[in-house]
Amino acid sequence: MLLDQFKRTKQKAYPIIRTEPVSAISDVKQYMGRNGDKFDLVFFDLPGTLNADGVIRTVAAMDHLFIPIKADRIVVESAIMFAKVIHEQLMRQGKSNIKTIGLFWSMVDRRERTRLFDVYEDVIGSFGLPILKTRLPVRSKFSKELETGNNGIYRSTLLAPDPAFIRDCQLDKLADEILSIIKLNRHGSQKLLSGRDRRKAVSGFGR
């Protein structure tokens, strides 16, 4: 199955490094030095709090931050405060490499009123924080994948999910929007790694 996918896409599986925030930068540098690899894009999936050991130092090394939020008052308030601390204590004082902070909607219930998101976005905008246009809908298949006896594969880092499922999840649109923001060509020759790169580092915060 993997061989068929490689023949079809001409793309190899990207490496994933399991690490902790406190050692993430050094672990990736060691990996790249050991393997002699160079990457155009390195993605970090970090905890959604600055209280975890090493998060601030790792965040400061990022080039771009993308923070998922959902239509919940506590989550939105937490994300705003998180982004404000990063902007005021790191970016404004020149203590980081960060060029971009972007928030994006995740776990969106399509039955939610559009007006609710408009209100939240007005509040977020009042703090000078940009929010991406793409909204990721909530999908039960991601949680059902963990159930015993389920044959679906939706979160595999090796096997690509069905294209129709990707479109329904809006992941392709989110990827395109992020690539346009950080000015990378989706169809170029970039190599991808989950870790830190010498050229660009992108961080996503789970909540």
Strand partners, 43: 202
Give a yes or no: residue 1 inside a domain.
no
Give a yes or no: residue 90 inside a domain.
yes
Give a yes or no: residue 64 inside a domain.
yes
Give a yes or no: residue 49 inside a domain.
yes
What is the number of structural domains in the chain?
1
Give a yes or no: residue 160 inside a domain.
no
Q: In the structure, what pLDDT confidence band is assigned to residue 23 with cuts at 50, 70 and 90?
A: very high
Task: Give CA–CA dist 101/86, Å, rounded.
Answer: 9
Give a yes or no: residue 145 inside a domain.
no
96 pLDDT more than 50:
yes
Domain that holds residue 52: 13-139+186-196
Mean pLDDT of 104-128: 88
Give a yes or no: residue 202 inside a domain.
no
For residue 188, what are the contacts with CB-CB under 8 A and spacing of at least 6? 40
Mean pLDDT of 62-82: 92
Give a yes or no: residue 150 inside a domain.
no
Q: In the structure, what pLDDT confidence band is assigned to residue 14 with cuts at 50, 70 and 90?
A: confident
For residue 54, what are the contacts with CB-CB under 8 A and spacing of at least 6? 20, 21, 22, 23, 24
Instruction: Quote the pLDDT of residue 195.
Output: 42
Q: What percent of the chain has pLDDT over 70?
A: 77
User: What's the CATH number where 42 sits?
Assistant: 3.40.50.300
C-alpha 5: how far from its chain's center? 24
